[in-house]
Structure formats: C-alpha cells, structure tokens
A and B are shown apart, each in its own frame.
Chain A
Amino acid sequence: MTAAPPYPQKRTCPYQPPEGYAAVEEQGPVLKVTLFDGREAWMITGFQEAREILTHPNLSSQRTHPNFPIVAPRFRSGIARNLALIAMDPPVHDTYRRFLNPHFSLRSARTMRKDIEEVVKGYVDDILDQGPPADLIPALAVPLPSLIICKHLGVPYADHDFFQEASGRVMLGTEEDSVAGGQALVDYLDRLTHDQIANPTDGLLGTLVRERVQTGEMNHDELVSIALVLLIAAHETTSSSLALGLITLLEHPDQWARLQADISGLPRAIEEILRYVATTDLVATRVAKGDIEIGGHTIKAGEGVLVSGTIANRDEANHADPHTFDIGRPDTHHLTFGFGIHQCLGQNLARLQIEIALEALITRIPTLRLAKPVSELPILGSGTVQRVLSLPVEW
C-alpha cells in the first residue's frame, strides 16, 4: 500500500499545480490523502469520477460531522462549520438556494452588465491616468467584486475596507483570525439586518426581507447567515480568478494576441482560464453519509471526501494536452465552480465581471505586461482560494 500523499500543497506558480500533485494524480483517480492534522480523507482527481461523486446522494456537506475533513486550521471555526448553503444538505439547502436563485440566474446577472461596465471603465480610467506602472490588485481585482456584491446586496460600499479585510481573514487567515474575522462580520451584518427588516431598501437583502422575512419563511438570523456567506464567497474567489486569469494570459502572449485580434473569443477563453487556474484548488470538501462506490473503491459512510479541481481539470483521460493553456480548445469543461446541487451560486456574476474587466484591459491597454517575473509575485493560499498579493504591470 502506497502512503497517502499530503493534500493540499502550496503552489509555487500561482496558476500551476504544485509539483507534488503529480504524485497525487499518479495514484488517482480515487486515492487517500493525508491532511495537515494527520487524518486521512478520500481524494477524487479524475474528472468523470468527480462529476459522478458530486451528484451522488450519499455525499454530505454537513461540516459539523465529527469526521468532516478539515483542510486548514481556519476551517475548524464554528462559523466555517455552519456556513449557510455551503455547509448544508437538502432539504434546508434547497429551500435557501431557491430563495436566492432568482437573484443570481444568468438573466439576473446580465441585468448588471451596464453597472459593471461603468465601474470597470472608472477603474481602468484611473489606471491609465496614474500609470504606468500599476498594481492591478488594489486598482481593480479586489475592489471590483467588492463593489458589485455591495451594490447587489444593498450593503454600504463605504464599509468595504472592513469586510474585504474581515472576509480575507475568514478565508485565508489563521484559526484565530478566521474566528475573529467571522464574528466581526456577523456583528456587522446583524446590525445591518435589523435595519433592513425595519426599513427594507432596494438591494437583495431588502428584497429578501420583503419576499421571505415578511412572509414568515425566513427569520433574522437566517438572513444574517445568508448575507454572511454571500459576502465571503463573493470577495476572494472572483478577485483571485480575475488576477490569476490575467497573469496566465500575460504569460501566454500568443493567447493574449489572439484575443486582441478577435475579442469575441473571450467567453470561451474565460472557461479555459477557469479550467487552467482552478482558483479554489479544492472544489469540494464533503463527508460520506452512506457507502459510495467510485472508481473501483468503496468509500464508507463517515469517511471524508475531497475533490481536487486543480488536478481534475487537467485529467488526461478527459482533456487532450491538459497542461496546455489554449483559449481555442474545443473542450473547456471544468469543475472550478463545482458540480451538483452546490455548484457556485455566483458563477454568472463572476464570469460577467471577469469578462468585462479582461475585455477592458485587452482593448484599452493592448501593450499590458507584467512588471515583475511571475516567480517574484507574492502568493498565498493552500487548500482554498489561491491568491496573489500584488500584480505589478506596465505598458
């Protein structure tokens, strides 16, 4: 029996798998890995096996289960274990999801296009006015999703420094940081929810008050927990996908040139970016609530299950030349937003923001390039959102 390799491991290049994942993939598509705390969990690295297990009825998201796999110390916190939607199973999950679906559908996201275009134009105007050089993390990648989710929820953007910082601590900090950041967010949203229930405004929180709280379907605490998960989920993921996607494009000048020649290829290019960078590394952490037969193995009830987007998105059994970044590839299928009933609620909004931001950069700053070698960019994140702390560019 081969020893269970460690997972997650740290990337050295922000858009490439860590070298050590080759050994994980070799034992796939279904294997056991060792977590940071010494416990073992099942790991799915095959693309088809991942699709299969993510739609299996015996897979559970109950993070309070004693055997739920914990991939980093911060996920031990009570807040991380009780996140609305993410840490829930049906039927409660499905009820919450139905409350939110109308406000995150493809249609709904598309109604926000003009707003997003205007916001992006403002950021790119400032970048051009003040540079070169520029750091696209504070100038675009961090504030854009923050401003858009604030507008959508009806949360005052004036407070964005506070929740950018707090949601960063929840997602990326130490265990203590995560607990403190989460509690600060809950306290803030608790006050905001009181105000919204008294005087609902136009944003999604006010809409949920009118549609679900006033009808008795949802109470104050539930609305707080939903607002919390929406704020946390919207911040790091979209921001990092945009930044890592841009770095990947700039590191592949031939692909950047293809988009300059024909910007209509951008939506497909974004799917390839999502496949290639696999921003969250893991696309699922779960526990089996009954036995699951998968890839010739039996996962027993009560055992932890992980799915690696980083590895599954580059499964040779599913993608030709999986390690080649090719925006014109016919098969851009990926699991970056997950699969099954938990697939990312905000995916349409995320895609739209990435598309509008990249289009603005490609068309308005065609000579854009990295001002530092990619190996010198400070990166952060292991097991969840991969992040660069700065993205210096010139043109």
Chain B
Amino acid sequence: MKITLDRDRCISAGRCAYAAPTVFDQDDDGVVVLLDTDPGEDVAHLVEEAQYLCPAMAITTA
C-alpha cells in the first residue's frame, strides 16, 4: 500500500502514530513522518484507521 503525507496540513494531533505506530511517527516539530514506506497487508486496517482519524486529512493511501 502506498502512503502519501501532506506534512503542511499536519496539525500534530498524533492520531496516526497512535493508531498505526509501526507506520507513523512524529518528528521534533510534532509533524508526521513515515516509518514504513511500504507497509504490508497485515497493518492495512491500522493505516486506514489512521487515515480516518487524521483531523487534517493529511494522509492519503493508494
């Protein structure tokens, strides 16, 4: 699954890092960073949850 982040939209809510901690983290500015550029099917539901929870709609998946 391919994930695209819009770091300018990120408001550092941290819902992504909470929902899918192996895929998303936050840098020192609190902005989302991708830990896993090609996450497997086993965590796909967690990535979808992260995308749904993101209040700034900064995560897109394909």
Q: Which residues of A contact B (CB under 8 A)?
A: 54-55, 97-98, 101-109, 333, 337-341, 343, 347-348
Contacts and interface: CB of A to CB of B under 8 A. Distances in A.
B38 interface: no
B51 to A, nearest CB: 13
Q: How large is the interface on B (under 10, 10 to 19, 20 to 34, 35 or more residues)?
A: 10 to 19
B18 A106 contact: yes
Question: Dominant SS at the A interface?
Answer: helix
Contacts of A54: 55
B46 to A, nearest CB: 13
B11 A101 contact: yes
Nearest to A97: B11
Given A343-B13, A347-B13, A107 B26 contact: yes
A341 B56 contact: yes
A61 to B, nearest CB: 14
Contacts, number: 50
B58 to A, nearest CB: 10
B47 to A, nearest CB: 16
Given A107-B26, A107-B30, A102 B56 contact: no
B14 A105 contact: yes
B20 interface: no
Interface string B1-33: 000000000011110011000000110111100
Interface of B: 11-14, 17-18, 25-26, 28-31, 52-53, 55-57
Contacts of B55: 54-55, 338-341, 343
A106 B14 contact: yes
Contact of A108 (B13, B30, B53): B30
25 contacts: A55-B57, A101-B29, A102-B12, A102-B29, A102-B30, A103-B30, A104-B12, A104-B30, A105-B14, A105-B26, A105-B30, A106-B14, A106-B17, A107-B14, A107-B26, A109-B14, A333-B52, A333-B53, A340-B56, A341-B56, A343-B11, A343-B13, A343-B55, A347-B14, A348-B14
A135 B61 CA distance: 49
A319 B13 CA distance: 23
Contacts of A97: 11
List the 9 closest A-B pairs by CB distance, nearest first.
A106-B14, A105-B30, A101-B12, A101-B30, A343-B55, A102-B30, A105-B12, A105-B26, A339-B55
Nearest to B53: A333
Nearest to B16: A106
Given A101-B30, A106-B14, 10 more contacts: A54-B55, A97-B11, A101-B12, A102-B12, A102-B28, A105-B30, A333-B53, A337-B13, A340-B56, A341-B55
A54 B11 CA distance: 14
A106 B24 CA distance: 11
A308 B12 CA distance: 24
A105 B24 CA distance: 13
A106 B26 contact: yes
